Structure 1
Amino acid sequence: MTTRQFSPPARTRPGRTVSRSRRAVRRVQPRFTLPAVAAPKSPGDRYELRAPIGRGSGSEVWHAHDHVLDRPVAVKVMDPEHAARPRARDELRDEARRMASIAHPHVVRVHDFGDRLCDTRPTPFITMDLLDGRNLHELAGDERLSLLRALRIGAQIADAVSAVHASGLVHLDVKPANVMVTADRATVVDFGISVPAGSCVSPARPSVVLGTPAYVAPERLTGGLVTPACDVYSLGILLFWLFTGRLPWTVHTTTQLLVAHVRSEPEPFPRRRGVPGEVAELGDRCLAKDPAARPDAREVAGTLARAFLAEA
């Protein structure tokens, strides 16, 4: 089989980034300092934070070492400003519990939760797998992905999303920056705004209402319930981006993008670039305005997996 190559253009959409290069930890400038945990003073100081590797809304992720189990881990640490909020600890603990409720090879594993990394101040944190790879947003922007690899990555993401839904949750932030890609697998990360299926969108929580504007489902902008179909819509946009290198609308501002989600029909999935016809048809269904018209994540995973096997 001749492997078809396509090279998506550089991405400009902002997104939270949590990444680690294949050969060395990607060092980023820390947004805040935690001097008391820069190096452990005693065996009781379990986690040694060695280098920041990414940041999100109100937290940073560090490459760290677990001195009890003698292994590298990733530690998500809430920044001091957010940690001072009344429910900050409970919110991060709930995120850890949601992650721990899902056992799947393509969903990041959580190891521990705590609220004090050092003796100086409360510092809520989660420890999880340290993934030796890059996030999909960076990877597909810098490397040429074969059609075969794109199908495999898409199938693994959809399989992970299906497992999230089977646990009764909706991720709400499925996007390339929240997918870590290693040599042999894609892993979905960041459950910071995930909620139980059937939840109401709360206007008091803007971050939950929107998530990432480029990937938000239209019903979340019009007050609809949060259902698994929200993630399937986001997955459809991710797949369109993966195969074309762009979004399915031509827009120039965030406002135009949000209006497009609700009112404008997306560009059809490409029937070129070697994308199998059944994958293109499935992608179009994922982007339906009506949540009931979308396939479920399990169907998406199955279709992509079959297309991968046919191309292999």
Structure 2
Amino acid sequence: MTTQAGENGEALRPGDPAELGPYRLLGRLGRGGMGTVYLGEERDGRRVAVKVINRELAGEGAFRDRFRREVTAARRVRRFCTAPVLDAELDHDPLYVVTEYIEGPSLEKAVAERGPLPGSDLEGLAVGVATALAAIHGAGIVHRDLKPANVLLSSTGPRVIDFGIARALDAADGPTRTGQFVGTPSYLPPELLRGEPVTPASDVFSWGSVVAYAGTGSAPFAGATVPEILYRVAHAEPRLDGLDPAVREVVAAALGKDPRNRPSVQDLLDRLVGHGRADPARLAETLKATWHGAEPAFAQTPARPSHTPAQVSGHSSGQAPGDAVAGGEETRRDARPDGFAAPGAGRSG
């Protein structure tokens, strides 16, 4: 994965396109196993993220069919707490998908540089990511690769990116086209390791791992090697030491080994809000009004220098501390704004 440099990311390289359809490309934002992400600009000046699919994948008929199905489904996802798909080229080379440009660090980068999220920021993160999953599942999609690098901390709240597209890499007779797992092992659900179907409950497990990382600075099944991590995911209890009690109980429930016993996404939201049935659309609007933003959220800890001005939809910034990567992919506030009441806690934002 390349590192961003300057306002427009890394400079375009020889051979990179200058334009794709109506989009002018300004720079490279990253590269992963599926393709290269560029910062693009529409004719009216609005910036977008453009993910161009690798030629070797685009040349496979089965991949193109899966990619078309998954992007078509992703375009149905409601916008709240996600980076919506705006456009796509599904028929002619090069294949690409265009999403909203989200400015702000990934959760992975923010926690690695500034430490765990405190208090109401953690609760807001938990609610925001669960709200995004409600929108994604509502469109009939399972994210499949929810991890800290795929959660961006924008000025209007957490945004989940790269939903559904990972499935295009799956082969009909195995977990992926290469027989490996796509994603970061610490955030994979145990049923995937057992060869069982991936369902919305699988995303709930990944949600629990992401929130645990956000609140402690470490993945709950972190280890030094991929086999060690996978063993812990499948058999060990999660490490939740230091996780805020306001979210610990619901996170522990989400990390159950049996997907049938995990709470649904709606259950997560109901328990986090703490007053009846939660409406994801209204929660998304509340988050916009009460979210502290990516920088103020870490006012307790001086930020270490960073040369990365923004993360972007479709770009994974790397691996979380203590995690190996499989599949080749790579001021605590006393006054809380009204919005969410976590179990056993006061009001939070």
* TM-score class, shorter: 0.7 to 0.9
Aligned to 1:8: none
Question: Structure 1 pair 252/54, CA: closer, same or farther in 2 (3 Å)?
Answer: same
The residue identity in structure 2 corresponding to 1:170 is V
Aligned to 1:24: 7
Deviations 1:75-118 (A, max 9, x none): 1111233323333433333332121111131121111111588x
User: For 2:123 and 2:27, how far apart are their aligned partners in 1?
Assistant: 33
User: For 2:347 and 2:270, how far apart are their aligned partners in 1?
Assistant: 12
Aligned to 1:5: none
Aligned to 1:220: 192
Please tell me whether the aligned partners of residues 210 and 220 of structure 1 are also in contact (alpha carbons under 8 angstroms). no
**How many angstroms does 1:239 deviate by?**
1.0
Which residue, 155, 166, 188 being the options, matches 2:138? 166
The residue identity in structure 1 corresponding to 2:23 is Y
Question: Structure 1 pair 33/213, CA: closer, same or farther in 2 (3 Å)?
Answer: farther
Please tell me whether the aligned partners of residues 156 and 301 of structure 1 are also in contact (alpha carbons under 8 angstroms). no
The residue identity in structure 1 corresponding to 2:213 is W
User: For 2:268 and 2:95, how far apart are their aligned partners in 1?
Assistant: 36
Q: Normalising by structure 2, report the TM-score.
A: 0.70
Aligned to 2:18: 38
Aligned to 1:310: 347
Q: Give the % identical residues.
A: 28
Which residue, 217, 222, 231 being the options, matches 1:259? 231
**How many angstroms does 1:299 deviate by?**
2.0
**How many angstroms does 1:65 deviate by?**
1.2
**How many angstroms does 1:309 deviate by?**
6.3
Aligned to 1:136: 107
Please tell me whether the aligned partners of residues 123 and 348 of structure 2 are also in contact (alpha carbons under 8 angstroms). no
**How many angstroms does 1:204 deviate by?**
5.5
Q: Count residues in correspondence.
A: 276
Q: Bigger relative contact order, structure 1 or 2, given CA contacts below 8 A and separation 6+?
A: 2
Give the secondary-structure state (helix, strand or coil) at the position aligned to 2:94: coil
The RMSD of aligned alpha carbons is 3.0
User: For 1:306 and 1:232, how far apart are their aligned partners in 2?
Assistant: 20
Give the secondary-structure state (helix, strand or coil) at the position aligned to 1:169: coil
Aligned to 2:33: 57
The residue identity in structure 1 corresponding to 2:7 is A
User: For 1:174 and 1:201, how far apart are their aligned partners in 2?
Assistant: 23
User: For 2:212 and 2:53, how far apart are their aligned partners in 1?
Assistant: 33
Aligned to 1:84: 59
Aligned to 1:126: 97
Alignment of 1:286 with 2:254, yes or no, is: yes
Give the secondary-structure state (helix, strand or coil) at the position aligned to 2:347: helix
Alignment of 1:299 with 2:241, yes or no, is: no
Give the secondary-structure state (helix, strand or coil) at the position aligned to 1:170: coil
Give the secondary-structure state (helix, strand or coil) at the position aligned to 1:95: helix
Alignment of 1:248 with 2:217, yes or no, is: no
Aligned to 1:193: 166
Deviates more, 1:175-184 or 1:140-149: 140-149
